[in-house]
Structure 1
Amino acid sequence: MDALVPFLQLLVLLLTLPLHLLALLGFWQPVCKTYFPYFMAMLTAKANKKMEKKKRELFSQIKDLKGTSKKVALLELGCGTGPNFQFYPPGCKVTCVDPNPNFEKFLTKSMAENRHLQYERFVVAHGEDMKQLADHSMDVVVCTLVLCSVQSPKKVLQEIHRVLRPGGLLFFWEHVAEPRESWAFLWQRVLEPTWKHIGDGCHLTRETWKDIERAQFSEVQMERQPPPFKWLPVGPHIMGKAVK
């Protein structure tokens, strides 16, 4: 089965040759950075309808951190358009980090629609280097559909661990690779080189659960779920929390 992958990758490359040429010449990235927020706004709205119950259940645990007067300092990493804001409990102080500055206008709109939150700031940065954020400054970090597209999941998780206070929580929801011996995994390998251009660096074959389990959290709770959209090549999802 492995022998088929290079042949099929070449076939897909030929079928999508203009896209790869634009990327090679450096013209595609600016286009992608502009259109991608609109694509994500549409996709995450649909995903929220399918995942609403699970997301409410996951993020309801943030209330357990909240004292009588203390507000929860929450960092959303790879915040995108802010589709998770509606699920956070009242009073959270939200800091957003994303490497794409084109998301800021979407965040402004999302915050205007979620007045129960306190919007701190939007930081343009990659998850591997969040030097603008102090050590132990966050009670909660949220990371949804992010670790698929970063350069180094390991470094991002190290940064998350750094900014979380002791006892702080990481909430995650990520898509991961299909089982290695499956035909679905073969097609993920075939499509990945092209999909990374379409999905702004998104990898289809990452086994992200391994990175989270190795990231020196004191406790990890995780469950696997089927993908919300069968028409996309992304595989099953993992959802859960990790305790520093």
Structure 2
Amino acid sequence: MALTIFVLRLVVGALAFPMYLLHFLGVWSSICKKLFPYFMRKFTVMYNEQMMGKKRELFSNLQEFAGASGKLSLLELGCGTGANFKFFPPGCKVTCIDPNPNFEKFLIDSVAKNRHLQFERFEVAAGENMHQVADGSVDVVVCTLVLCSVQNQEQILREVYRVLRPGGAFYFMEHVAAERSTWNYFWQQVLNPAWFLLFDGCNLTRESWKTLERAGFSKLKLQHLEAPLSWELVRPHIYGYAVK
């Protein structure tokens, strides 16, 4: 099996050689950063349509974590185009962080369409270092389709834990590696190196639930899901929330 995966990776690599060459020359990353928001604008519309029920279920109890003022302070990590805004409760105070500044114009468009929210600010930063956000300053951190592409999941979760107030919650919905005995896992292994470059650092093979289980939250409510998506490679999902 390992040999078959290796051979097929070589075939995929040969087909994707121009992309690898541009990456080697340092050009591909710049191209990706500019084009990826346009792809995500279309992809998240499809994703929201197919995952509408699960997203509503996931975010249904967000307001329960509001602080003493009754207004929910929410930080969205890897906010992208603002695809989650419609699921947040009215009056929610939203701060957004994303390492790609090219998402900002799409995010502002989403803010204009979601007047039920109180938009605070957009910060360009990586989740591994959210120094712009004070310790214990937010009620909820939201992160969807982000842990697949971050450089260091453990550091991300340490930062999430730091910025949450005691009793605050971290909400997540992520695609993950398939079960190892499945054909889906086989093709995830074969295609992952090219997928990583094509989709701006996205990994198909991460077992993100293991990182969450080790993160030290006082409560973890995590479910596995075979998502009803058109792209089979990203159907294996986890979703839920963790309480500090």
- Normalised to the residue count of structure 2, the TM-score between the two structures is 0.97
Q: How many angstroms apart in 2 are the aligned matches of 1:68 and 1:137?
A: 13
Q: CA deviation at 1:67?
A: 6.0
Confirm or deny: 8 A CA contact 1:204 1:235 kept in the other structure. Answer: no
Confirm or deny: 8 A CA contact 1:47 1:228 kept in the other structure. Answer: no
| Identity within the alignment, % | 57
Aligned letter for 1:147?
L
Q: Say whether residues 1:218 and 2:218 are aligned partners.
A: yes
Q: CA deviation at 1:12?
A: 0.2
Q: How many angstroms apart in 1 are the aligned matches of 2:197 and 2:228?
A: 22
Structure 2 gap ranges (5+): none
Helix, strand or coil at the partner of 2:60: helix
Q: CA deviation at 1:182?
A: 2.1
- Residue 208 of structure 1 corresponds to which residue in structure 2? 208
Confirm or deny: 8 A CA contact 1:101 1:124 kept in the other structure. Answer: yes
Q: How does 1:74-153 map to 2 (within 5 A)?
A: 74-153=74-153
Q: How many angstroms apart in 2 are the aligned matches of 1:174 and 1:85?
A: 17
Confirm or deny: 8 A CA contact 2:141 2:171 kept in the other structure. Answer: yes
Confirm or deny: 8 A CA contact 1:2 1:186 kept in the other structure. Answer: no
- Please give the root-mean-square deviation of Cα atoms over the aligned residues, in Å: 1.2
Helix, strand or coil at the partner of 2:166: strand
Q: How many angstroms apart in 2 are the aligned matches of 1:135 and 1:67?
A: 15
Helix, strand or coil at the partner of 2:111: helix
Count of aligned residue pairs for this structure pair:
244
Q: How many angstroms apart in 1 are the aligned matches of 2:196 and 2:220?
A: 29
Helix, strand or coil at the partner of 1:202: coil
- Residue 2 of structure 1 corresponds to which residue in structure 2? 2
Confirm or deny: 8 A CA contact 1:149 1:200 kept in the other structure. Answer: yes
Q: How many angstroms apart in 1 are the aligned matches of 2:136 and 2:229?
A: 36
Q: CA deviation at 1:71?
A: 1.3
Q: How many angstroms apart in 2 are the aligned matches of 1:117 and 1:34?
A: 27
Confirm or deny: 8 A CA contact 1:177 1:206 kept in the other structure. Answer: yes
1:6-65: CA deviation from partner (whole Å, max 9, x where unpaired): 111110000111111111111111111011001111111111111112211211211212
Structure 1 gap ranges (5+): none
- Residue 160 of structure 2 corresponds to which residue in structure 1? 160
1:149-185: CA deviation from partner (whole Å, max 9, x where unpaired): 0001111011000000000011100000011122221
Confirm or deny: 8 A CA contact 1:94 1:117 kept in the other structure. Answer: yes
Q: Say whether residues 1:184 and 2:184 are aligned partners.
A: yes
Aligned letter for 1:130?
M
Q: Say whether residues 1:52 and 2:49 are aligned partners.
A: no
- Residue 66 of structure 1 corresponds to which residue in structure 2? 66
Q: CA deviation at 1:235?
A: 4.0
Confirm or deny: 8 A CA contact 2:222 2:240 kept in the other structure. Answer: yes
Q: How many angstroms apart in 2 are the aligned matches of 1:184 and 1:146?
A: 21
Q: CA deviation at 1:189?
A: 1.1
Aligned letter for 1:230?
S
Q: How many angstroms apart in 1 are the aligned matches of 2:225 and 2:38?
A: 26
Q: How many angstroms apart in 2 are the aligned matches of 1:86 and 1:235?
A: 23
Q: How many angstroms apart in 1 are the aligned matches of 2:99 and 2:74?
A: 18
Helix, strand or coil at the partner of 2:186: helix
Q: How many angstroms apart in 1 are the aligned matches of 2:67 and 2:231?
A: 43
